[in-house]
Chains A and B, each alone.
Chain A
Amino acid sequence: GENVEQHPSTLSVQEGDSAVIKCTYSDSASNYFPWYKQELGKRPQLIIDIRSNVGEKKDQRIAVTLNKTAKHFSLHITETQPEDSAVYFCAASYFQKLVFGTGTRLLVSP
């Protein structure tokens, strides 16, 4: 089955810096790669996603890149703000299953 590894587990940055979170997946059949943000005590919410026929996708300060050959994808957040502080989860979907990474706790200090 699919296995998703996510790094780092914690990431501390200063406000205005960029943050990068990386994930690798094992099953080449995976074709959908979403990223979710979970604030403390809240439910996960989708922030961006990408399908395997696309290499990069941007939405304002957030971007995701996908390297199918290497089986890894990354979340890039530019000009970080304190409200970006949360836990971020990557995921990979193969067939109708969805497998999540273990999460990255991002702390943005003012």
Chain B
Amino acid sequence: EAQVTQNPRYLITVTGKKLTVTCSQNMNHEYMSWYRQDPGLGLRQIYYSMNVEVTDKGDVPEGYKVSRKEKRNFPLILESPSPNQTSLYFCASSPARGGVVNEQFFGPGTRLTVL
């Protein structure tokens, strides 16, 4: 089954404790991206990647890191989480043929709470 998976789905942590949210897709998509969703603010792009070893900042990259060592995986790293990073996080992938953004296929979401 074609899908985007994220783990964990729920996470409660404390300020400053490094964490990683994994994202994997099995559709051979070139483009992968991370978004955070907050009430009243919609979806905001954190980072995106057009292909392996290519990553770029979205609109809200501060406090986050990503890597794209393999085409299928795009982990989101919070080196020192803070309470303002409490949010619902979505990973997405897309077949970006010719460098053009297309339909985003979203993962199920990860609800993160930082105390």
Contact = CB atoms under 8 A, between A and B. Distances in A.
B93 interface: no
B109 A98 contact: no
A44 B96 CA distance: 18
Q: Give the residue among A43, A89, A97 with the most B Cβ atoms within 10 A.
A: A43
A102 B45 contact: no
B99 to A, nearest CB: 7
Contact of A44 (B59, B90, B102): B90
Given A43-B109, A89-B43, A97 B59 contact: yes
A43 B108 contact: yes
Interface of B: 31, 33, 35, 40-45, 48, 50, 56, 58-59, 90, 96, 99-104, 106-109
A49 B50 contact: no
A98 to B, nearest CB: 6
Given A98-B104, A99-B59, 17 more contacts: A1-B59, A32-B100, A32-B101, A34-B104, A43-B108, A43-B109, A44-B90, A44-B104, A45-B106, A49-B103, A89-B43, A96-B56, A96-B99, A97-B48, A97-B58, A97-B101, A99-B45
Contacts of A25: none
B101 to A, nearest CB: 4
A6 B43 CA distance: 12
6 contacts: A34-B104, A43-B107, A43-B108, A98-B33, A98-B48, A102-B42
A100 B44 contact: yes
Contacts of A102: 40-42
Contacts of B90: 43-44
A90 B33 CA distance: 17
A99 B60 CA distance: 11
Nearest to A93: B101
A44 B44 CA distance: 13
Nearest to A49: B103
A82 B18 CA distance: 43
A101 B35 CA distance: 13
